[in-house]
Amino acid sequence: MRIRFSPFYLFFLIGILLVAAVVLRVEKKETEHKIVVVIPQDPDYLDPHLASAAGTYEMMFNVYEGLLKPAPDGTLLPAIAERYDITEDGRSYTFYLRPGVKFHNGQTVTTADVRYSLERLMGTQTGQPLSSYFTKVEAVETPDAERIILKLKEVDAALLNNLTTASIIPKDYQELNTHPIGTGPFRFVEYRPGQRVLLEKFDDYWQTGRPFLDKVEFRIIPDREAALLALKNGTVDIYPRIDNNRTAELGEDFYTLRDKQNLVQLLAMNLNRKPFSDHRVRQAVNYAINKDELIELAAFGYGTKLGSGLSPAMANYYEPGLEDFYPPDRAKAQQLLAEAGYQDGFRTVLTVPSNYPFHVDTAQIIVEQLKKVGIKVEIELVEWAVWLQRVYKGRDYEMTIIGLAGKLDPLPTLIRYTSDYANNFFNYKNTEFDRLFQQAADESDQEKRAELYKKAQRILAEDAAAVFLMDPHYTVALRKEIAGYQTYPLYIQDLSTVYRVSKKPR
């Protein structure tokens, strides 16, 4: 039989080719092991030593590393340093470089790079420190190719924790702000302002087998509504810090992870103003507020009750049991108010930053709760800039609600309550607290230090320095096929352990 040429065959052939091309293309797209994470804002600087925004750190955590690294439980893991020794007097730290750690440009990390990075932060050459964390470090010494020795002027208990944020960068590398180079699991590919930050897998990462993903994209979507839509229609895969009241809308294809975010949400009372200068009034306010009801109403139950200035996310330093120091008790509150001479209650103003709907909601509930013991509170909403200027810096307020973000170390959180701290907007003064705090700062033994901080927390609770409300949980919404996401008590997205279930990690 003779095969006649006909246009039909041609079309048929072209058709098959087209279908194949589409299929292959889809196939190719599928083989790319990539996920998209939505974030609300642009990075401020790509240079890790200049960046100060938490939103930058959460992304660049995947690109840069310090000598040590935080673990999901808030403890420390060795990273660029393989191990370290501390001398008895706590004034000299010796770090041993992990052999064979590579920068994204292929160079091996040397002690010179580490020294350069730390000295850049300390401002040894320029005289202008880029970070306030290392003021107690006198000198960085690199006697050989393995050891980095930090000599301290005085004991600095927070040093190890602070080193996690001291990113190690290549010596004398000048293009950090446009082409970041670090040692993290992902290397920087591109940043398009207002659109995205793209990272790709770093094949020579020192932790073998990590990361699992080939590519990570941080999609910048400032509007929460748009971010939620992007998650639902599949444009993005992970939505960190989704509003707790929106998770019900997500449906079958998603799941959520929740954890404490190491944030202390509190109701501050200006201790320099009447009637809050009276210890009994502050205690009465504490007794009048029902934290369980508050957590249920404002955070849909997703919050951990607090009793003092630290979140239980800092498990090592947290003093448990204080959260019920002032159980809700209206009769007691009224009795204390009467003792202080306010048997008919009083009027006051609660200043709330209007850009935090969560605090505004909390304020409305607190108004209702305090009304029941006769304290009439009027809410005053102010812009964030006004809040910072007038309340935080100017200390011109009666009551306010704010969330204080915790670090890996308790020091930056608890220093806020020391008498002479510049931003002690509580106007809290207690010599015993100051003494314990100073003692803890000078203590290099972590166990003893934790004990001192626990005592300090108890004092804050006894003095009713504020009403410590809750650590609201943050919620991460993920597509069902994504696994391996780890939550941290820090503002970071660790994508080194994340993978798609369809592409099982090797």
Contact set with other proteins (CB under 8 A): 243, 245-246, 248-249, 293, 296-297, 354, 357, 360-361, 363-365, 367-368, 378-381
**Residue-wise DSSP of 259-308:** EE-SEEEEEEE-TTSTTTTSHHHHHHHHHH--HHHHHHHHHTT-EEE-SS
Residue 327, C-beta contacts closer than 8 angstroms, at least 6 positions apart: 287
Tokens 């998603």: give the residue: 254
**Residue-wise DSSP of 221-257:** ---HHHHHHHHHTTS-SEEET--GGGGGGS-TTEEEE
User: Exposed, middle or buried by CB within 10 Å (0-12, 13-18, 19+), for 171?
Assistant: middle
8 Å CB contact between 460 and 308? yes
DSSP bridge pairs for 466: 268
Q: How far is the CB of 362 from other proteins (least distance, A)?
A: 11
Q: Which residue's CB is nearer to other proteins, number 183 or number 244?
A: 244
Q: How far is the CB of 359 from other proteins (least distance, A)?
A: 11
Q: Which residue's CB is nearer to other proteins, number 228 or number 313?
A: 228
Q: How far is the CB of 350 from other proteins (least distance, A)?
A: 10
The answer to whether the Cα torsion of 410, 72, 41, 44 is positive or negative is: positive
Rounded CA-CA distance 283/308 in Å is: 13
Q: Which residue's CB is nearer to other proteins, number 243 or number 462?
A: 243
Q: How far is the CB of 364 from other proteins (least distance, A)?
A: 4
User: Exposed, middle or buried by CB within 10 Å (0-12, 13-18, 19+), for 7?
Assistant: exposed
8 Å CB contact between 379 and 364? yes
Quick one: how far is CA 395 from the chain centroid? Answer: 26
Q: How far is the CB of 332 from other proteins (least distance, A)?
A: 21
Q: Which residue's CB is nearer to other proteins, number 193 or number 251?
A: 251
Q: How far is the CB of 244 from other proteins (least distance, A)?
A: 10
8 Å CB contact between 79 and 65? yes
Q: How far is the CB of 235 from other proteins (least distance, A)?
A: 19
Q: How far is the CB of 108 from other proteins (least distance, A)?
A: 51
